């Protein structure tokens, strides 16, 4: 570093002060410095003045020596008092008094023009005003003015006895100018001191405001649980809050000192982020730290610190997010568990629909089978066996039998009647067998449909929504006709195919149809209606399931998709919640609208077409 005269002088002056004096406010500290500096320089001037005494007249030498001795003793006393007193006022009074006394004693014996106009005299007002203030400085100034303007000439004229008082008007005029100069020196010093005090007051006010703002900022930084560290361009610590110091002590076993390098900078990629922040871009990253066998996760942010248009460093903000990460992991696990439970519930809903449909169809199969059995038991085919036996008994005389035997004469009419009866029985049995076949085919259709949709979840495929909606109806709707529910389909979408997970979409639709069926069953509406709509809304496909059932209260609409909320007596409270989550996973949304209790509800599922 280059040598600085100012720093060298201040270092020497402060070396003469005590530790407590060096901690004084700037105003008091500078008064001490000026006091010591002026005293030291005056001691040097006194030493030089001793070499000039031999040039004086013999009668003037002794007073000069006395003046130098008095001043030297006073200056040494000033230096000694300055180190022992907590205020520079008393040493300053002694210095100004000694300087004034030395000036008077040194110039009083000299009877030459301009003797009182010595440059040392001009130091006294300026030094007194700075060290003691304008009022005390004015006292010393008036003392010198009276001496220079009046007493010096009165003394050498013997107060009019040795020579006339105003015999040399030039000397009086010179002394008068000296007096005016002394007064001007005091006035300029006072004016400078006033301006300096006002500037100092403004500066003190600004410093006070700055200290208050700094105190508030420090209070905010210390009250936060975040780690806050200010770094310069080289990555050295400028300042750090207590949380940063505590974390450094806890993790690395040492305090975070000013000027030190953060151990975090050794983490992979962290120095690169710091260098990127120095280019003016905010950076953020999550870094893992291992401490005592446990992995901590820190959220670290670098913000550039600007000075004008130049980045002079960066501020590091860090927060321990380990608990949040663990909570997110637990929440993700809980979500997966809920999804599994929901899938099982959806499978149960579908299985219930399959069992109901198969059960109803089996009822029809049972009825048809019983009818076939009953009709076969009541069949007239046994009469045909009797007719054949009768013909076998009369085989040797069939002609006589048909002509002479009364039974033979009725035999053709009997066969004609039996043939008609058997034909009717045949048609009836065939009709029941046809119904039985249709019922069996329906069972096969329901089972194959269930098998078709019971695939692995998570596979995206192109799905025609109207067809899947009809499948959901057949899988889940037990018998809408038997329950008196009128079904309306309004499929108006130009493009109705979407790329989705078929299992998730089917589960949502089955859940919505189940809710609609329950709402209609609990409703007192005489004309129960269920409307299914598929329409295109921009780049999205809108699927609506609307019913005129019991409706939903306004206060329940906000909580309808919350986990655990249900209005059913036997509901589990996560069907709609999981359906809403599944809709979001499919890139869509699930919403509900209802005008209130008894006015039905409309659930709308929107999916992206692309």
pLDDT over threshold 70, residue 358: no
Q: What is the mean pLDDT of residues 6-29?
A: 81
pLDDT over threshold 80, residue 64: no
Packing angle of the helix pair 169-223, 120-132 (nearest 10 deg):
30
Q: What is the mean pLDDT of residues 470-478?
A: 66
Pick from 247-256, 437-446, 465-474: least confident: 437-446
Taking the domain 460-608, which CATH number applies? 3.30.565.10
**Residue 232 pLDDT class (50, 70, 90 cuts):** confident
pLDDT at 603: 93
pLDDT at 602: 93
The topology under which CATH files domain 225-320 is Beta-Lactamase (3.30.450)
Report the chain's mean pLDDT, rounded to a whole number. Answer: 77
Q: Is the dihedral of CA 443, 444, 445, 446 positive or negative?
A: positive
Contact (CB, 8 A) for 87 and 132: no
pLDDT at 189: 83
Pick from 36-50, 317-331, 520-534, 559-573: least confident: 559-573
Contact (CB, 8 A) for 303 and 228: no
Of the candidates 299, 358, 345, which has an alpha carbon nearest to the alpha carbon of residue 511?
Answer: 345
pLDDT over threshold 80, residue 218: no
- Which pair of tokens denotes residue 80? 């000694």
pLDDT at 604: 93
Q: What is the mean pLDDT of residues 341-355?
A: 59
Q: What is the mean pLDDT of residues 504-524?
A: 83
Helix extents (H) in 492-610:
502-521, 554-557, 575-585
Residue 334's alpha-carbon distances to 197, 337, 338, 563, in angstroms, are: 70, 5, 6, 12
Of the candidates 350, 289, 352, which has an alpha carbon nearest to the alpha carbon of residue 322?
Answer: 289
pLDDT at 544: 93
**Residue 441 pLDDT class (50, 70, 90 cuts):** low
Of 218-232, 502-516, 593-607, give the range with the top mean pLDDT: 593-607
pLDDT over threshold 70, residue 266: no
pLDDT at 555: 85
Q: List pLDDT tens digits, range 362-410.
A: 655 666 677 777 766 766 666 667 777 777 777 777 777 767 777 777 7
Integer Cα distance of 134 and 143 in angstroms: 14
pLDDT at 415: 73
- DSSP state, residue 236: B
Q: List pLDDT tens digits, range 572-590.
A: 566 788 788 888 888 899 9
- Domain span(s) for CATH 3.30.450.20 in the chain: 225-320
pLDDT at 157: 78
Q: List pLDDT tens digits, range 65-120.
A: 887 888 888 888 888 888 888 888 898 898 888 888 888 877 787 777 777 777 77
- Domain span(s) for CATH 3.30.565.10 in the chain: 460-608
Higher pLDDT, residue 534 or 327: 534
Integer Cα distance of 344 and 62 in angstroms: 121
Percentage of the chain exceeding pLDDT 90 = 4
Higher pLDDT, residue 93 or 18: 93
Q: Kindly report the pTM of this predicted structure.
A: 0.40
- DSSP state, residue 315: E
pLDDT at 589: 92
pLDDT over threshold 60, residue 597: yes
Packing angle of the helix pair 406-453, 322-377 (nearest 10 deg):
170
Integer Cα distance of 446 and 479 in angstroms: 14
* Full strand arrangement of the beta sheet holding 294-307: 237-240, 227-232, 310-320, 294-307, 283-291
Give the CA-trace dihedral at 514, 516, 521, 525, to 10 degrees. -170
């Amino acid at each position: 570093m280059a040598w600085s005269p100012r720093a060298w002088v201040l270092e020497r002056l402060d070396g003469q002060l005590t530790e407590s004096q060096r901690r004084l406010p700037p105003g008091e500290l500078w008064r001490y410095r000026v006091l010591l500096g002026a005293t030291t320089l005056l001691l040097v001037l006194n030493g030089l003045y001793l070499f000039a005494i031999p040039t004086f007249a013999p009668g003037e030498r002794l007073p000069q020596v006395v003046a130098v001795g008095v001043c030297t003793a006073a200056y040494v006393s000033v230096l000694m008092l300055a180190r022992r007193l907590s205020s520079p006022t008393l040493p300053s009074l002694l210095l100004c008094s000694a300087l004034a006394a030395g000036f008077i004693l040194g110039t009083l014996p000299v009877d030459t023009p301009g003797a009182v106009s010595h440059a040392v005299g001009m130091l006294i007002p300026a030094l007194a005003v700075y060290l003691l203030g304008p009022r005390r400085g004015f006292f010393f100034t008036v003392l010198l003015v009276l001496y220079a303007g009046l007493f010096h000439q009165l003394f050498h004229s013997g107060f009019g006895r040795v020579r006339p008082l105003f015999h040399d008007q030039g000397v009086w005029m010179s002394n008068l100018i000296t007096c005016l100069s002394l007064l001007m020196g005091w006035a300029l010093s006072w004016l400078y001191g006033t301006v300096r005090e006002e500037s100092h007051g403004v500066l003190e006010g600004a410093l006070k405001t700055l200290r208050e703002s700094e105190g508030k900022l420090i209070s905010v930084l210390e009250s936060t649980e975040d780690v806050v560290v200010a770094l310069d361009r080289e990555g050295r610590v400028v300042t750090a809050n207590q949380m940063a110091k505590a974390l450094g002590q806890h993790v690395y076993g040492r305090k975070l000192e000013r000027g030190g390098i953060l151990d975090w900078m050794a983490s992979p990629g962290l120095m690169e982020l710091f260098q990127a922040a120095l280019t003016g871009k905010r950076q953020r990253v999550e870094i893992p730290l291992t401490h005592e066998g446990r992995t901590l996760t820190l959220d670290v942010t670098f913000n550039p610190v600007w000075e004008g248009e130049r980045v002079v460093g960066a501020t590091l903000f860090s927060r321990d997010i380990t608990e949040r990460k663990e909570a997110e992991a637990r929440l993700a696990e809980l979500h997966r568990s809920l999804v599994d439970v929901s899938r099982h519930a959806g499978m149960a809903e579908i299985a219930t629909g399959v069992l109901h449909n198969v059960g109803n169809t089996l009822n029809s199969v049972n009825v048809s089978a019983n009818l076939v059995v009953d009709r076969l038991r009541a069949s007239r085919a046994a009469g045909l066996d009797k007719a054949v036996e009768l013909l076998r008994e009369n085989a040797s005389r069939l002609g006589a039998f048909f002509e002479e035997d009364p039974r033979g004469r009725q035999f053709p009419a009997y066969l004609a009647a039996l043939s008609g009866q058997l034909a009717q029985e045949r048609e009836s049995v065939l009709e029941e067998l046809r119904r039985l076949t249709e019922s069996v085919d329906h069972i096969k259709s329901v089972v194959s449909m269930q098998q078709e949709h019971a695939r692995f979840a998570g596979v995206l495929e192109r799905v025609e929504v109207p067809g899947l909606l009809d499948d959901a109806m057949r899988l889940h709707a037990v018998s809408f006709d038997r329950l008196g529910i009128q079904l309306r389909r309004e499929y108006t979408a130009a493009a109705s195919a979407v790329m989705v997970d078929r299992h998730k979409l089917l589960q949502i639709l089955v859940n919505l149809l189940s809710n609609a069926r329950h709402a209609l069953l609990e409703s007192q509406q005489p004309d129960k209606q269920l409307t299914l709509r598929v329409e295109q809304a921009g780049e999205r496909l809108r699927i609506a399931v609307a019913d005129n059932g019991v409706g939903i209260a306004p206060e329940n609409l906000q909580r309808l998709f919350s986990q655990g909320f249900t209005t059913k007596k036997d509901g589990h409270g996560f069907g709609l919640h999981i359906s809403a989550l599944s809709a979001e996973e499919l890139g869509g949304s699930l919403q509900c609208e209802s005008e209130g209790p008894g006015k039905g509800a409309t659930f709308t599922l929107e999916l992206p077409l692309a």
